[in-house]
Protein backbone atom coordinates (compact mmCIF):
# COMPACT_ATOMS: atom_id res chain seq x y z
CA UNK A 1 0.00 0.00 0.00
CA UNK A 2 1.53 3.32 -1.10
CA UNK A 3 1.39 5.98 1.59
CA UNK A 4 3.51 8.82 0.24
CA UNK A 5 2.41 11.89 2.18
CA UNK A 6 0.32 12.92 5.13
CA UNK A 7 -3.14 14.09 4.18
CA UNK A 8 -5.69 15.85 6.35
CA UNK A 9 -8.91 14.12 7.35
CA UNK A 10 -10.89 16.69 5.37
CA UNK A 11 -8.83 16.07 2.23
CA UNK A 12 -9.06 12.28 2.64
CA UNK A 13 -12.85 12.54 2.88
CA UNK A 14 -13.15 15.03 0.01
CA UNK A 15 -10.92 13.04 -2.38
CA UNK A 16 -12.99 9.89 -1.99
CA UNK A 17 -16.22 11.88 -2.11
CA UNK A 18 -15.18 13.43 -5.42
CA UNK A 19 -14.49 10.01 -6.92
CA UNK A 20 -17.79 8.58 -5.72
CA UNK A 21 -19.86 11.59 -6.79
CA UNK A 22 -18.35 11.78 -10.28
CA UNK A 23 -18.56 8.04 -10.88
CA UNK A 24 -22.07 7.91 -9.43
CA UNK A 25 -23.38 10.72 -11.63
CA UNK A 26 -21.85 9.24 -14.80
CA UNK A 27 -23.01 5.72 -13.91
CA UNK A 28 -26.58 6.80 -13.12
CA UNK A 29 -26.73 8.72 -16.41
CA UNK A 30 -25.52 5.66 -18.31
CA UNK A 31 -27.99 3.34 -16.58
CA UNK A 32 -30.90 5.73 -17.15
CA UNK A 33 -30.24 5.80 -20.90
CA UNK A 34 -29.84 2.02 -21.05
CA UNK A 35 -32.95 1.41 -18.93
CA UNK A 36 -35.01 3.68 -21.19
CA UNK A 37 -33.65 2.18 -24.40
CA UNK A 38 -33.51 -1.50 -23.45
CA UNK A 39 -35.70 -1.84 -20.35
CA UNK A 40 -32.92 -3.46 -18.32
CA UNK A 41 -31.83 -2.85 -14.73
CA UNK A 42 -28.18 -2.57 -13.69
CA UNK A 43 -27.59 -6.29 -13.06
CA UNK A 44 -29.29 -7.21 -16.34
CA UNK A 45 -27.15 -4.65 -18.18
CA UNK A 46 -24.02 -6.10 -16.58
CA UNK A 47 -25.01 -9.61 -17.65
CA UNK A 48 -25.73 -8.58 -21.23
CA UNK A 49 -22.48 -6.58 -21.47
CA UNK A 50 -20.43 -9.50 -20.13
CA UNK A 51 -22.09 -12.11 -22.35
CA UNK A 52 -21.99 -9.80 -25.37
CA UNK A 53 -18.25 -9.38 -24.92
CA UNK A 54 -17.66 -13.11 -25.25
CA UNK A 55 -17.48 -14.84 -28.59
CA UNK A 56 -19.34 -17.79 -27.05
CA UNK A 57 -22.05 -15.51 -25.64
CA UNK A 58 -22.21 -17.64 -22.51
CA UNK A 59 -21.16 -17.68 -18.88
CA UNK A 60 -21.91 -19.69 -15.77
CA UNK A 61 -24.50 -18.42 -13.35
CA UNK A 62 -21.83 -18.23 -10.63
CA UNK A 63 -19.42 -16.05 -12.60
CA UNK A 64 -22.22 -13.80 -13.89
CA UNK A 65 -23.58 -13.40 -10.35
CA UNK A 66 -20.12 -12.43 -9.12
CA UNK A 67 -19.71 -9.92 -11.95
CA UNK A 68 -23.03 -8.29 -11.03
CA UNK A 69 -22.16 -8.37 -7.28
CA UNK A 70 -24.91 -10.85 -6.39
CA UNK A 71 -25.00 -14.18 -4.62
CA UNK A 72 -25.82 -17.14 -6.82
CA UNK A 73 -29.25 -17.38 -5.19
CA UNK A 74 -29.98 -13.68 -5.62
CA UNK A 75 -28.89 -13.81 -9.23
CA UNK A 76 -31.53 -16.40 -10.12
CA UNK A 77 -34.23 -13.70 -10.42
CA UNK A 78 -32.05 -11.73 -12.84
CA UNK A 79 -31.53 -14.83 -14.98
CA UNK A 80 -35.28 -15.55 -14.78
CA UNK A 81 -36.13 -12.08 -16.14
CA UNK A 82 -33.61 -12.31 -18.98
CA UNK A 83 -34.91 -15.79 -19.87
CA UNK A 84 -38.52 -14.59 -19.78
CA UNK A 85 -37.64 -11.82 -22.24
CA UNK A 86 -36.04 -14.35 -24.58
CA UNK A 87 -32.58 -12.76 -24.30
CA UNK A 88 -30.78 -15.75 -22.77
CA UNK A 89 -31.35 -19.46 -22.26
CA UNK A 90 -30.27 -21.59 -19.31
CA UNK A 91 -28.30 -24.66 -20.32
CA UNK A 92 -26.10 -27.14 -18.47
CA UNK A 93 -22.37 -26.67 -18.98
CA UNK A 94 -21.09 -29.33 -21.39
CA UNK A 95 -19.08 -31.85 -19.41
CA UNK A 96 -20.51 -30.77 -16.04
CA UNK A 97 -24.29 -30.87 -15.97
CA UNK A 98 -24.27 -29.72 -12.33
CA UNK A 99 -23.28 -26.23 -13.48
CA UNK A 100 -25.77 -23.99 -15.26
CA UNK A 101 -24.80 -21.37 -17.79
CA UNK A 102 -26.62 -18.59 -19.56
CA UNK A 103 -26.20 -18.27 -23.30
CA UNK A 104 -27.39 -15.41 -25.45
CA UNK A 105 -30.25 -16.13 -27.83
CA UNK A 106 -30.05 -14.57 -31.31
CA UNK A 107 -32.31 -11.74 -30.03
CA UNK A 108 -30.10 -11.40 -26.95
CA UNK A 109 -26.92 -11.26 -29.03
CA UNK A 110 -28.43 -8.51 -31.18
CA UNK A 111 -29.40 -6.52 -28.08
CA UNK A 112 -25.99 -7.09 -26.48
CA UNK A 113 -24.25 -5.69 -29.56
CA UNK A 114 -26.43 -2.56 -29.50
CA UNK A 115 -26.12 -2.23 -25.73
CA UNK A 116 -22.31 -2.50 -25.79
CA UNK A 117 -22.06 0.05 -28.61
CA UNK A 118 -24.27 2.55 -26.79
CA UNK A 119 -22.42 1.95 -23.51
CA UNK A 120 -19.09 2.63 -25.22
CA UNK A 121 -20.48 5.78 -26.86
CA UNK A 122 -21.77 7.14 -23.55
CA UNK A 123 -18.55 6.23 -21.73
CA UNK A 124 -16.54 8.06 -24.37
CA UNK A 125 -18.75 11.15 -24.22
CA UNK A 126 -19.06 11.43 -20.43
CA UNK A 127 -15.70 10.03 -19.28
CA UNK A 128 -12.95 9.49 -21.83
CA UNK A 129 -13.57 12.62 -23.93
CA UNK A 130 -13.85 14.73 -20.77
CA UNK A 131 -10.45 13.84 -19.30
CA UNK A 132 -8.62 12.26 -22.25
CA UNK A 133 -7.63 8.67 -22.90
CA UNK A 134 -4.38 8.71 -20.90
CA UNK A 135 -5.98 10.15 -17.78
CA UNK A 136 -8.94 7.80 -18.20
CA UNK A 137 -6.52 4.86 -18.23
CA UNK A 138 -4.76 6.24 -15.13
CA UNK A 139 -8.07 6.63 -13.29
CA UNK A 140 -9.18 3.12 -14.27
CA UNK A 141 -5.82 1.64 -13.25
CA UNK A 142 -5.84 3.43 -9.90
CA UNK A 143 -9.38 2.29 -9.17
CA UNK A 144 -8.45 -1.29 -10.13
CA UNK A 145 -5.75 -1.08 -7.43
CA UNK A 146 -8.33 0.20 -4.92
CA UNK A 147 -10.70 -2.64 -5.83
CA UNK A 148 -7.97 -5.27 -5.54
CA UNK A 149 -6.85 -3.92 -2.15
CA UNK A 150 -10.39 -4.13 -0.82
CA UNK A 151 -11.52 -7.52 -2.16
Give the CATH number, domain containing residue 23: 1.10.10.10
Cβ(59)–Cβ(93) below 8 Å = no
Cβ(83)–Cβ(90) below 8 Å = yes
Per-residue pLDDT at 4 = 66
Does residue 59 lie in a domain region?
yes
Q: Can you give the C-alpha Rg of the chain in angstroms?
A: 18
Does residue 4 lie in a domain region?
no
pTM of the model: 0.86
Per-residue pLDDT at 82 = 98
Average pLDDT for runs of 10 along the chain of length 151: 79 95 95 97 96 96 91 90 98 91 98 98 96 97 94 84
Domain count for the chain: 1
Cβ(63)–Cβ(74) below 8 Å = no
Per-residue pLDDT at 72 = 82
Per-residue pLDDT at 1 = 61
Provide the pairing of β-strand 96-104 with 58-60.
antiparallel
Per-residue pLDDT at 3 = 62
- Residue 138: count other Cβ atoms within 10 Å of its Cβ: 12
Q: Which residues pair with 93 in a beta bridge?
A: 96
Amino acid sequence: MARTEKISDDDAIELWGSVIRAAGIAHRRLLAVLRERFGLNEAEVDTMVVLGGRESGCGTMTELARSASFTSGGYTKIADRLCARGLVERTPVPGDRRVTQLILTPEGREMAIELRALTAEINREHFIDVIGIERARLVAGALDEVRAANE
